Chain A
Amino acid sequence: MTGAIGKPTPYIDAVQKVTGQAMYADDYKFPNMVYVSCLRSTESHAKIKSLELKKAEASPGVIAIVTGKDIPVPFGVLSISRDETAMAIEKVRYQGEIVAAVAAETIEAAEAGVKLINVEYEPLTEFFTPQDSLKTCTPDEQIHAHTKDHKNIHKTAELRFNEPEKELETAKHKQTGEFKFAGVTHGFTEPHSAVAMWNGDETLTIISATQVPHYLQKNLSKVLGLPLHKIQVKKPVLGGGFGGKSDPFPHEMIVSFLSKKIKRPVKCTFSREEVFITHHGRHPTEINMSLSCDAGGKITALDADIIIDGGAYGSFGVVTSYYNGVLLQGPYEINKFGFRTRRTYTNKHQCGAMRGHGAVNPRYAVETLLDMMAHNMKMDPCDLREKNFLSEHSSTVGEFRITSNGIRDCIAAVRKKSDWDSRYGKLPYGHGLGVACGFFISGSALPILWNRYPQTVVHAKLDFDGRIVMFSGASEIGQGSDTLLVQIAAEELGIPMDFVQVEVADTKTTPVDLGSYSSRVTFMVGNAAKTAASNIRNEMVKAISKEKDTTAESLIFRNGRIFTKDKSLDITWEEGVEMAMAGRGAFVESGFYISPKLGGNFKGAGAGLSPSYSFGAFISEVEVNPKTGETNVIKVWGAHDCGKALNPLAVEGQIEGSIHMGLGQTMSEEMRYKNGQQLNANFFDYRIPSSLDTPDMDVTIIESNDPEGPYGAKEAGEGPIHPVLPSIGNAVFDAVGVRMMELPITPDKVLKKIKENV
């Protein structure tokens, strides 16, 4: 590689961001714009007996008020669980659900209007724990009418291969654990915000802080009854997502509906508390898991029974249910394998996808059981893991195709850098090291909504000015996808990056990309962009070789010049552009990506399929104060196999960010509820680690060069979070000899365990 790929590359939008010029959704203001404030339910589960709007309608500045009945079409990111409407109709299912929305000349007038709406509720039986939801109830008590057997179970996902339960029954070396994980939320810094405009040509434009413009377009079309071609979704600069902006949301439906109704631009921006209420974060999870090994430490079977607490609506929950199980098939070879996940509806904020989707909590369980196993069998936990790694170019029991796999290099790197072999198990009481591994999909091989199209298309446009514009639906959310598009074009065409610009995430002007979720962008958009740019090059080669009478193969594109090896031809990029455009003008070339056909032929075989998987191994070092139970994570060594680091700065940034987020879930973050009401819907009490709470980090990038990834690349945005949590938990064991089976690892829990242990 000669150009931009593989070099640490600052983001192309970084200058805009450090100068305050970057426009996020709430920064957009349009003439005649109105503001929306939402009335939210004070009940967790109740019938709406009456809704009195008269006073609010008469309030100064109020222009329109809408309620659930005005926008009754259900939506949801998955077509199999479209169970939500823009606002509650007839009944509310969680505290904070939107009941009405007021549009007014100013936000103050809208808020004043909201206060004048009177709602009368008739309480229904509330379900706050999954245990309650698993029980039979009366039809009237059901949170959703569509659930089976009068239980509030949303989804049961189950797969079994080769009877793991039989093996576990008789296994000599077996570890079982009951694990419990609190719900956590994304904590992105930019609150949700959307502004919709009904245009004079009867089309809708919505600028929204979304990770999934395409799915928003589709859902808006359904909900508004508007043809797809009349909807333009634009994603502005986005202030973080982590999965929390990867669903279509009620407020997006509300502003769109209102702008169509009142023919004015309509904006809605959430308060931080509303962001917490909207949630869609990681499910509270209970896992009962068993793992067995043979005498040599080879894993023989794994079985897990998992309950995830979905909250009031479906979101990505069906996928989450599967991911909790299927993503345990790696990085270890496990041939007898099974799981059952039940996702319950409860009367709380809904859960959905969050960084590391579905696999973070069960990963903690597996890695903890492995650590227990190693301890029990008097084996080094790294050695035990090394005995079990899947090989490159292999297959898992559930028929995941494994291509490149750098897990052995990962564990070797952190083992060496942390001085594991001379320090593990030998540190003084209160001080410990722990290891864990992980793996993750590099893009879901299947689209969320079945179709015959590619998962992404990228157009590259060349014009007389010599500029390449990359048109892509990919959603930059801070992970660096815009910069990636530029790097790839620069690499393919041998031009400086400043010749390349992007036009992105606009459903009117850019070809479809499914969105920034499931760690798919680098792999899929990267491949498509590479093809698009290299097709531009092919066109240029054709024209130049014809005009200059050289062979196509002899042309080299490098450093902004196009030349032959012997320099008999040596022209500037601009000269080459002119030759290519002669007689035809500006042109566009495309590239696309479709995942190969993968997987088995059983029900559920599609879950977790990916064209490639990332791998990683992390070691954490902790200090535990045995008197207070306070745990301090001192340092984390992380090695992640991303195939090939197209932008090493961005890859490091993803790994470091994963360490931070993993640390938060392990140590201090927790969605706390009492009677369905969140106790800590603010950044005071929902405790995201600060700079002082985040440990030293040592990041190693492992490059296994994936055969199908662009330049060998795989994902790096989500995989690195999985090993973080269990590596800390296992380090606590090394430090003070107690097993933390519940997250977060708060001091009170550690202290209780230490006391029980004495």
Chain B
Amino acid sequence: MEYYHSPDSIKDALSMAREFDGNFIYFAGGTDVQIYRKQKLEKNEHIIDLKSIQDLNSISMKDEVLSLGAMTPLDDIIKSKEIQNYFPLLMEAAKSVATPVIRKTATIGGNLLVRNRCTFYNQSQEWRNGVGSCLRDVGDICQVTGGNNDCYSRNVSDTAAALIALNAEITLINSNEMTQKPLKDIYLPCGIKFHDLDNKNILTQIHVPFRPKKWWYKKLRVRKTLDFTSLTIAATVDNDDMARICLNGVSMAPILIEESLDTLTIESLIKQARKNCKTVDNDLMPLKYRREMINVFLEEWWEYEHHK
């Protein structure tokens, strides 16, 4: 059986979470999770829909810090004058997600926690029955690597790449306390458990503390809409020439490279990126090409940074 709940406060949501003891999922916009439910990849009985919690939908600027409620639709982010003016990188990233109509439902919090993807996992149950084994589903052999230990499902959050490059922090609330931590720290290098938030917490706010001197964003995909990323790179440089380059779509977690432009070379940047990205053949775009594009994109950013 399946049950739908729509609490209108965080407190109620958390008490439901306690009551259902792990046998539930949160819905933010739900645009991604719905498909997991249809494909029977998500079997928990209870849905806790956070949509009705009003104070999670907000965009505000205070002391130069941008705060976003986690349930803010991506479309609102794209249309916010403040974000357009001061955080165009975030706007670009949000605009590159899904389609215009989906972005009216899909939220920033939901996109940050969008589930990792793999060609052999994101399929219908009937399809998966045909394959028979997947480390993340049933069985003990990975269809991608043939291995039986690690799942390499890719993190595909475009906004995560942008917000990590923007040094964003997040606020979590559980029944006892409110904690704040850097966004980049929540992601884990694992295709199955891809973040460390346990579900007794709710992601409530995203804070973007600084406005970079320069920014750059590029997403590799086949069509100019809808497609999940095959490689997203978001890069910022702050007033002290500190570069933050975040790659996503090519590993289990977003990969951040942080280094001063004084010491960074393109060769070392590429080397670090290629070393840290555990890119495997789990996307329909060919593996070799995706790896190649890591170099090409980084070179393009490098050129942009040095010749403009």
Contact = CB atoms under 8 A, between A and B. Distances in A.
Task: Classify A-B as touching or not with yes or no (CB < 8 A).
Answer: yes
Contacts of B126: 40, 42, 273
B62 interface: no
Contacts of A629: 289
10 contacts: A42-B126, A273-B126, A677-B131, A679-B284, A680-B284, A681-B127, A685-B119, A689-B223, A690-B226, A693-B225
Contacts of B225: 690-693
B224 interface: yes
A684 B228 contact: yes
B129 interface: yes
Nearest to A44: B130
Given A40-B126, A679-B284, A751 B222 contact: no
Given A668-B222, A748-B286, A684 B127 contact: no
Interface string A265-301: 0000001010000000000000000000000000000
Interface residues of A, number: 27
A341 interface: no
B226 A748 contact: no
A394 interface: no
A628 B296 contact: yes
A692 B131 CA distance: 35
B223 A690 contact: yes
A692 B127 contact: no
A668 B119 contact: no
Contact of A95 (B130, B220, B289): B130
Given A627-B300, A681-B124, 10 more contacts: A271-B124, A273-B124, A627-B299, A628-B220, A629-B289, A679-B119, A680-B284, A689-B223, A693-B224, A751-B292
Contacts of A627: 296, 299-300
Contacts of A677: 127, 130-131
A687 interface: yes
Contacts of A689: 223
Given A680-B284, A748-B288, A668 B223 contact: yes
B65 interface: no
A690 B299 CA distance: 29
Contacts of A684: 226-228
Contacts of B197: none
Per DSSP, chain A at the interface is loop
Contact of B293 (A42, A628, A668): A628
A628 B289 CA distance: 9
B119 A747 contact: no
B95 to A, nearest CB: 12
Nearest to A95: B130
A692 B127 CA distance: 31
Interface in A20-79: 40, 42-43
Interface of A: 40, 42-43, 95, 271, 273, 627-629, 668, 672, 677, 679-681, 684-685, 687, 689-693, 746-748, 751
Nearest to A629: B289
B115 to A, nearest CB: 14
Nearest to B286: A748
B127 A273 contact: yes
Interface in B67-115: none
A297 to B, nearest CB: 38
Contacts of A668: 222-223
Contacts of B226: 684, 690
A162 B260 CA distance: 73
Contacts of B284: 672, 679-680, 685
A724 B285 CA distance: 24
Nearest to A688: B223
Interface in B185-223: 220, 222-223
Max chain A C-beta neighbours (<10 A), residue from B129, B222, B292, B300: B222
Nearest to B287: A748
Contacts of A43: 130
Interface in B266-308: 284-286, 288-289, 292-293, 296, 299-300
B137 to A, nearest CB: 14
A692 B227 CA distance: 12
Please name the 4 residue pairs, one residue from A and one from B, whose CB atoms are nearest each other, closest first: A748-B289, A692-B224, A42-B130, A690-B225
Interface string B237-267: 0000000000000000000000000000000
A100 B84 CA distance: 56
A681 B120 CA distance: 12
Given A42-B129, A679-B119, A692 B223 contact: yes
Contacts of B227: 684, 687
Contacts of A680: 284
Given A628-B296, A677-B131, A687 B223 contact: yes
A628 B226 CA distance: 20
Contact of B222 (A681, A687, A691): A687
A595 B131 CA distance: 50
A506 B289 CA distance: 52
A442 to B, nearest CB: 34
Contacts of A746: 222, 285-286
Interface string B113-153: 00000010000101101111000000000000000000000
A679 B226 CA distance: 18
A630 to B, nearest CB: 9
Contacts of B127: 273, 677, 681
Contacts of B129: 42
Nearest to A679: B119
B191 to A, nearest CB: 18
Contacts of B300: 627
B223 A751 contact: no
Contacts of A672: 284
A566 to B, nearest CB: 63
Nearest to B226: A690
A692 B110 CA distance: 25
A417 B285 CA distance: 36
Contacts of B224: 690, 692-693
Contacts of A628: 220, 293, 296
A616 to B, nearest CB: 27
Nearest to B292: A751
A692 B226 CA distance: 11
Contacts of A687: 222-223, 227
A363 B103 CA distance: 41
Contacts of A692: 223-225
B21 to A, nearest CB: 27
A666 B228 CA distance: 21
A114 B293 CA distance: 44
A687 B130 CA distance: 23
A675 B292 CA distance: 27
B102 to A, nearest CB: 12
B250 to A, nearest CB: 15
Nearest to B297: A628
A690 B222 CA distance: 11
Contact of B289 (A40, A679, A685, A751): A751
Contacts of A693: 223-225
A273 B226 CA distance: 18
B289 A747 contact: yes
Contacts of A95: 130
Contacts of A751: 289, 292
B227 to A, nearest CB: 7
A427 B7 CA distance: 61
Contacts of B293: 628
B299 to A, nearest CB: 8
Contacts of B286: 746, 748
Nearest to A678: B127
B131 to A, nearest CB: 7
A615 B284 CA distance: 37
A43 B129 CA distance: 10
A271 B35 CA distance: 14
Contacts of A685: 119, 284
B266 to A, nearest CB: 14
A42 B299 CA distance: 45
A679 B117 CA distance: 13
Contacts of B220: 628
